[in-house]
Amino acid sequence: MGQEYAVTPWEVKGKVDYLRLAREFGVQLLTDEDLNLLKGLTGGDVHYLIRRGFFYAHRGFREILERARSGESWALYNGRGPSGDLHIGHLVPWILTKWFVDKFNVHYFFELTDDEKFLVRDGYTLEETNRLAYDNALSLIALGFTPDRLHIIVDTDDVAYLYKIAVKVAKKLTLSTVKNTFGLTDSNNIGATFFPAMEIAVAFLPTELLNSETPVLIPTAIDQDPYFRLARDIAETLNYPKPATLYSKFLPGLTGEDKMSASNPDSALYINDDDKEVRRKIMNAFTGGQPTAELQRRLGGNPDICPVYRYHTLLSDSDDEVKRIYEDCRGGRLLCGECKLILYERVSAFLNRHRELREKAKDKVSEYKISVKFK
Ligand code: SF4
């Protein structure tokens, strides 16, 4: 029997066996055939987050690629429960989504679930989650999306776009299905049981807004699968196309956990961490290195268990550089201190630039709101 773990939309515990999780969820693994089909549509390019296996599983991705091949419409969708602790891990699926937008020139719908954060998390007022939604939107815009492709939905402000669809979705979902799927109990508030209808509604929104069948592709972490499994189950009964998903693994915690955790601030690199803080966290990170430099030179390190190496693979677009780090680590030619400094410089440059771009985005958020584009 393998190690035990638990993965739900709200919690990840234990050491995740990703192949087993894909089997348990009933999702498909990405195959060479899928990647070749993607390559054929993008002029030979496959984003490094897919190429390196960080995005590794899906539901219905092939159907989206077939639509792209035949020139039929599709759109992108993902989102975020707004909070004040946005970290680099949150940006990773958006970086891949930007690549899809650039390659396929499709619409991208982004839902900021200020309602959900208020309903399921203690300690937030609704005013606060709404303010955080607009704050988090800055990081998305800072990645370079243009307003003609990115359409931001803030649930409590833009409910008119979702409510009619959400009501139809809600009628198809029984209380016991929602309780079983999301692990809710009788002590949860009733808002938490309705909320999945709001998240699923966005998957069907492009078909309504564009007035033609437009399935969505949802690049997201695999813990979000329960929402979209339900969405696929009910789509056809509502005359909507089934949404497709593309699932990533989790970004490991710098301190050695399988997923960055809000309860351990040293496990994550937050977008508001200054250079000093970023350096401290990276230099203190768990590694796959040997206890001494002498042993590292003699025996080499183990990048396969090393979060520092993992970060290099997620933030460097150079395959040559990533390969060199891997081989130099294994061969004892790279010491952990040097390797961490390379990562620090990369993260610091990225975050400083990201914060500048967030500042510039401050006057532009309204241009991205769905209400400006779709009346
Ligand atoms: Fe990790 Fe780098 Fe040390 Fe290798 S050299 S174990 S990749 S920190």
303 lines ligand 1 (CB under 6 A): yes
Which of 254, 304, 309 should be mutated for ligand 1, with most atoms under 8 A from CB? 309
d(CA 56, CA 348): 28
329 lines ligand 1 (CB under 6 A): yes
Nearest CA to ligand 1 atom 5: 336
- For residues 109 and 205, the answer to whether their CB atoms sit within 8 Å is yes
Please name each of the domains of the chain with its CATH number.
6-249 (3.40.50.620), 265-359 (1.10.240.10)
79 lines ligand 1 (CB under 6 A): no
pTM of the model: 0.94
287 lines ligand 1 (CB under 6 A): yes
Distance between Cα 91 and ligand 1 center (Å): 23
For the segment 331-367, what is each residue's pLDDT rounded down to a tens digit?
Answer: 999 999 999 999 999 999 999 999 999 999 999 999 9
Amino acid 251: pLDDT? 86
Amino acid 1: pLDDT? 42
For the segment 120-165, what is each residue's pLDDT rounded down to a tens digit?
Answer: 988 899 999 999 999 999 999 999 999 999 999 999 999 999 999 9
Distance between Cα 323 and ligand 1 center (Å): 12
137 lines ligand 1 (CB under 6 A): no
End-to-end CA distance of the chain: 55
Ligand 1 atom nearest to CA at 340: 8
Tell me how many degrees the CA angle 2-4-5 measures, rounded to the nearest 5: 130
Ligand 1 atom nearest to CA at 306: 1
- For residues 362 and 137, the answer to whether their CB atoms sit within 8 Å is no
For the segment 74-85, what is each residue's pLDDT rounded down to a tens digit?
Answer: 999 999 999 888
Crossing angle between the packed helical segments 190-209 and 159-172, to the nearest 10 degrees: 110
d(CA 217, CA 154): 20
Which of 284, 304, 336 should be mutated for ligand 1, with most atoms under 8 A from CB? 336
The gap from C-alpha 57 to its chain's centroid, in whole angstroms, comes to: 13
Residues of the chain with pLDDT under 50: 1
3-state secondary structure of 111: strand
